[in-house]
Amino acid sequence: MTLPVASIPMKKIKKPSLVLTLSSAALLIGGGSAAYWLLTQGQLFSKDLPVGATIIPRDALFAVSLTTDPKQWQKLREFGTKESQAELDKNLVKLRDRFLTNNGYDFQKDIQPWVGNEITIAILAPQVNQSISKPVATYGDIASIQQSMVMVLPVKNPEQAKSILAQPKTLKQSKWIDRTYQGFAIKQTDGVSGNNLSATLLDGRFLVITDNPKATERAIDAYKNKASLATAGGFANNFPKISNYQPFAQFYVNVPTAAKIAATAPNRHLPAQVLAQLQNNQGLAGTITLEPEGIHLKGVSWLNPNSQRVLGVENKAGKMQSRVPAETLMMLSGGNLKRSWGEYVLTSQGNPLSPITPEQLRGGVKSLTNLDLDRDLLSWMKGEFSVSVIPNSPKQGSTENFRAGLLFMVKASDRPSAEASLKQLDDVMKNQYQFQIQPGTVAGKSVINWIAPFGTLTATHGWLDGDVAFLAVGAPITDKIVPRPNNTLASTLAFQQTVPTEPNPTNGQFFLDVERTAKNFPLPPLFPNQQTILAATRSIGVTTAVSDSRSTRYDIFVALKKAESSASLPSPVPTMGTASP
């Protein structure tokens, strides 16, 4: 296995766009099986804080780490299907050849003997002309500004590192020149301004490579002046929360700067008030480890230390998975629906990237039911809630129209208010939509059934354990939750092996049986190569918690299939004409 980020200065590297970098980070966070996209980025050597954090300037937009251990890379390649393995191998070979083979380098021979356990790369925030005063919403087209990359390679054999830096490969179209900055010797190319490779060895411990001499100077300044990522707001306090022994990868995203980048994306302009809200958020970080059955991501996000906003520490979820049956395909739970709605309003009001705005949802509820969402519904929904998809098991000869039922449950903080609201809903469904409202019983418990005209839609609502209200829509699944099932989702091996047990107590959980869901229900396209990735995935589990008034923790596990065998990567074909000095 070779690492594309370990390319020692040779020729000009074409920089990826900042938008692509952010997209790569999103893929890594949301679907661990796509981590190979981050091979264009690099490392963060972690004990508690990443080693590169003492060198990377604190305004870096993005930083990511990858292990140099060939065994971990081979383990990654053992996951998935033949199709997903082929997709992964294609990207690994392309990146290996671009960064190493095409420049005359071999990882095992030229890099591995002296590099540390992980290597780091960061994308620096573009330096904007500070003399130009502009509102936040018109920060400028940051995505079009030249950005720089900084690679930090920890050195375990200083003599070999010095040797390869002193005698770099001969370049075809430029030559190496020597200079010094702040007492550090720098070797750089004499190419076009803004595209010069530059390398320096800091105190014999870190080989720093950049694609711009100014970026090298910024890294040296950050290192000497203690203005590095390690001193960024909240970084040193929060990164240790997710540290792990010998991780496969780690990453960090500077949220405020990322928001400014998003503001410049085509058709994605964020209004000033949204950017102002995002300034309250400071960082997002994660650590990825490879486990026998899949990929585990430990993440943390935190607010700006100077922000006036605080988080409500209320971790009271974790019971809803014991109320739904074992065959449940999907379950999403949270600790306090009223508080969760308040957080959503705070971060999404006026945000065009939100799936639905608070105003639209409030207006929709009002027009459909004549109820006030906040006053009539959410006011009594202060307990744990969940949304689940439960497959139908129709009896032989049944003509039922629905293959699954959608189940909503919430622990009521005020049952009388809840009953009054549900009665209003019954009246609306009867008078406005001509539904039949029929009282009934299920296993001795009273329920209310809604039957649509011509029987095209049914719904049932009632109470569990005295204070948990439920509404089931679609397939008739009430008998699967009343009485409480003996075989629950929480008792299944799939749930126990997928949904992380930490952090505990929890503020919410998510479970998705990808195999059964994809087999029975078509999923809308959400990301590139979706079908290939889903075919390699068994299930996904998430557990979240509010750590304190300024940070949130979450654990994600992606259970993956394993292919029967994993062939070696194709051998590199050296590029002709690359000579040694």
Q: Would residue 57 count as lying in a domain? A: yes
Please indicate, yes or no, whether residues 286 and 417 belong to a single structural domain of this protein. no
Domain closes at, from 297, 331, 349: 297
pLDDT over 70, % of the chain: 76
The answer to whether 124 and 61 have CB atoms below 8 angstroms apart is: yes
Distance of CA 387 to the CA centre of its chain: 21
pLDDT band at 134 (very low <50, low <70, confident <90, very high): very low
Please indicate, yes or no, whether residues 89 and 213 belong to a single structural domain of this protein. yes
pLDDT band at 189 (very low <50, low <70, confident <90, very high): confident
Please indicate, yes or no, whether residues 347 and 289 belong to a single structural domain of this protein. no
Residue 277's domain comprises: 17-126+137-297
Strand ranges, E, within 133-204: 149-154, 176-181, 184-189, 198-202
Q: Would residue 574 count as lying in a domain? A: no
The answer to whether 66 and 287 have CB atoms below 8 angstroms apart is: no
pLDDT over 90, % of the chain: 44
pLDDT exceeds cutoff 60 at 546: yes
Please indicate, yes or no, whether residues 412 and 538 belong to a single structural domain of this protein. yes
Please indicate, yes or no, whether residues 174 and 323 belong to a single structural domain of this protein. no
Lowest mean pLDDT among 155-164, 420-429, 517-526: 517-526
Q: Would residue 579 count as lying in a domain? A: no
The rounded distance, in Å, linking the Cα atoms of 368 and 375 is 16
Please indicate, yes or no, whether residues 449 and 524 belong to a single structural domain of this protein. yes
The answer to whether 183 and 164 have CB atoms below 8 angstroms apart is: no
Structure-token pair, residue 60: 């870096």
Give me the pLDDT at residue 306, please: 80
Please indicate, yes or no, whether residues 318 and 290 belong to a single structural domain of this protein. no
Please indicate, yes or no, whether residues 517 and 394 belong to a single structural domain of this protein. yes
479-491 residue pLDDT tens: 999 999 999 999 9
Q: Would residue 50 count as lying in a domain? A: yes
Three-state DSSP state, 219 = helix
Q: Higher model confidence: residue 38 or residue 183? A: 183
Please indicate, yes or no, whether residues 316 and 273 belong to a single structural domain of this protein. no
What distances in angstroms separate CA 576 from CA 1, 102, 300, 335, 573, one per listed residue?
A: 22, 8, 46, 61, 9
Q: Are strands 62-67 and 118-123 parallel, antiparallel or unpaired?
A: antiparallel
DSSP string computed for 317-362: B--GGGTSBTT--EEEEES-HHHHHHHHHHHHTT-TTSSS-HHHHH
Q: Would residue 567 count as lying in a domain? A: no
Please indicate, yes or no, whether residues 192 and 317 belong to a single structural domain of this protein. no
pLDDT exceeds cutoff 80 at 17: no
pLDDT band at 431 (very low <50, low <70, confident <90, very high): very high
92-107 residue pLDDT tens: 787 677 656 665 677 7
Q: How many domains does the chain have?
A: 2
The rounded distance, in Å, linking the Cα atoms of 31 and 79 is 14
Domain closes at, from 241, 270, 297: 297
Please indicate, yes or no, whether residues 340 and 409 belong to a single structural domain of this protein. yes
pLDDT band at 542 (very low <50, low <70, confident <90, very high): very high
Q: Would residue 575 count as lying in a domain? A: no
Q: Higher model confidence: residue 387 or residue 277? A: 387
∠ CA(274), CA(508), CA(62), 5° rounding?
A: 45
Q: Higher model confidence: residue 41 or residue 63? A: 63
Max avg pLDDT among 57-61, 170-174, 437-441: 437-441
Q: Would residue 556 count as lying in a domain? A: no
* pTM beyond 0.85: no
Domain closes at, from 245, 265, 297: 297
Q: Would residue 131 count as lying in a domain? A: no
Proportion of the chain in helix, strand, coil states, percent, rounded to 5: 35, 25, 40
Backbone φ/ψ region at 474: left (φ over 0), alpha (ψ -120 to 50), beta: left
348-374 residue pLDDT tens: 765 665 677 888 899 999 999 999 999
**What's the rounded mean pLDDT across residues 526-535?**
81
Give me the pLDDT at residue 29, please: 34
Please indicate, yes or no, whether residues 227 and 374 belong to a single structural domain of this protein. no
Provide the b/e sequence for 94-117 (b: ≥16 CB within 10 Å).
ebbbebbbbbbbebeebbeebbbb
**What's the rounded mean pLDDT across residues 273-282?**
64
The answer to whether 375 and 338 have CB atoms below 8 angstroms apart is: no
Report residue 127: phi and psi, to 5°: -85, 110
